[in-house]
Amino acid sequence: MLRGLVICPDAELAERLEMALSESHRVAVVRDLDRYPSELEFMRFVRAHAPHVLFLSTESLPKAMELVKVVEKETPGLQVVAVSRTTDPSLLLDLMRMGIREFLSLPFALQTVAETLERVEESARKRPSVVGATDQMYSFLPSKQGVGASTVALNAAVSLSQHPGMEVLLIDMDLTSGILGFMLKLNNAHSVVEAAENAHQLDETLWPQLVTRVKEMDVLHSGRLNPDFRIESSQIRHLLEFARRHYQAICVDLSGNLERYSLEIMHESKRIFLVVTPEIPSLHLAREKYNFLCNLELGDRVSVLLNRAHKRSLVTPEQIEDLLGVPVMMSFANDYQGVHRALQNGRAVDPNTELGRQFAGLGNNILEKKLPEMDTRKRFVEYFSILPARYTVADDRKKSAV
């Protein structure tokens, strides 16, 4: 079914049009406006609802022409149907000059409406509407609980938000132990749970109530502990589609439990940042998760972030690369005091510290897509001689069965 946007200052005309569209069973009107919006407002409505067709009143032809120019420039493929009370030959000529080929007028005969919508559907199939949507979505996956993935995700999002023109969204998708709301001292009672429950109805009015503005970025926290809540794949898809139309970059903090919705998010992500620490248990689980993601054909999206790195650590980044088979994209200093101060103040790590500068570098690396080359180093497998050589989907199913 087509999603339709109606712009018509004439209330009676708009009502009769929507009745006709409803009777056709081919269009769902997702938004109706009783005025001609500005370009900024119009694009906000388009990003919120991603309509296939715009029903545009010709009550004010100059204002209608302005919106048609916006459609041609910003949303090529969005079908436009002009709407009027009467059929005026001079009006039809003006519409043709504007590039509008479809026209409806009172009394909106069912057969005429059906034929028009059939042509609109065909045109929409041949030339789908293009609404700007970012591909800059990044997942942060902890190798195990407690490795600091939430700290890394938060500071990465803050770093990205400080780049000019970057609208950034940070989402906490850990429904069992999400911590971002606490870390930032957020008071918003709404959360990702409400966003998921209303994923099919998200719009420019509801969304600002769900997110919290933290300086230059928006945050959608996980809310109160709710282990019984289940997010469906369709909810995730609609939520992400909406977010991608409104933000230039999206950072998602995952639980690490590989829930179905987490896998859905990782499939939609441009990069998956596997956060590890230089301890044996963390690296063991990192290898298993990486191999599991390889089985899902997601291995080429994985980059490793080494958190809490020590200068004299027994485990070097090169050895970690050798073990996991994937480069360590960046290492972050073990600055317990700095992270503690950030938690106390409900903000990101001080950008003037060594760790703060490293997080700023992470944002730059993400945007510039710079990944270090992996060197051939001494094998590190002896540290993991007791581990299985390969983690497979079959192994995961066996564990689930137990």
**Quick one: tokens of 114?**
């059906």
The 3-state DSSP class for residue 281 equals helix
Radius of gyration of the chain (CA): 26
Count CB-CB contacts under 10 A for residue 190: 16
Spatial separation of the C-alpha atoms in residues 95 and 85, rounded to whole Å: 15
CA dist 362 and 218 (Å) reads: 19
Q: What's the pLDDT tens digit per position in 147-167?
A: 999 999 999 999 999 998 899
Residue 130: what pLDDT? 66
**Model pTM score:** 0.71
As to burial, measured by CB atoms within 10 angstroms (0-12 exposed, 13-18 middle, 19+ buried), residue 291 is buried
Decide if 327 contacts 333 (C-beta within 8 A): no
* Contact (CB, 8 A) for 2 and 28: yes
Amino acid in position 97:
R
Residue 50: what pLDDT? 86
Single-letter amino acid code for the residue at 130: V
The pLDDT score that the predictor gives to residue 232 is 85
pLDDT tens across the length of the chain (402 residues)? 899 999 999 999 999 999 999 999 999 999 999 999 999 889 888 888 889 999 999 999 999 999 999 998 888 889 999 999 998 889 999 999 999 999 999 999 999 999 999 999 999 988 877 677 788 999 999 999 999 999 999 999 999 999 988 999 999 999 888 999 999 999 999 999 999 999 888 888 899 999 999 999 999 999 887 767 788 888 988 899 899 888 999 999 999 999 999 999 999 899 999 999 999 999 999 999 999 999 999 999 999 999 999 877 778 888 999 889 888 999 999 999 999 999 999 999 999 999 999 999 999 999 874 444 434 344 444 444 434 444 444 444 444 443
Tokens of residue 233, six digits: 């794949």
pLDDT tens digits, one per residue of 176-190: 889 999 999 999 999
Look up tokens 């600055």; give the residue. Answer: 335
Residue 51, phi then psi, degrees to nearest 5: -70, 155
Q: What are the Cα distances from residue 293, in Å, to 236, 240, 262, 272, 286?
A: 19, 21, 12, 10, 10
Burial 81-102 (b: 16+ CB within 10 A, else e): bbbbeeeeeebbebbeebebeb
Query: What are the structural domains, with CATH classification, of the chain?
Result: 2-126 (3.40.50.2300), 137-401 (3.40.50.300)
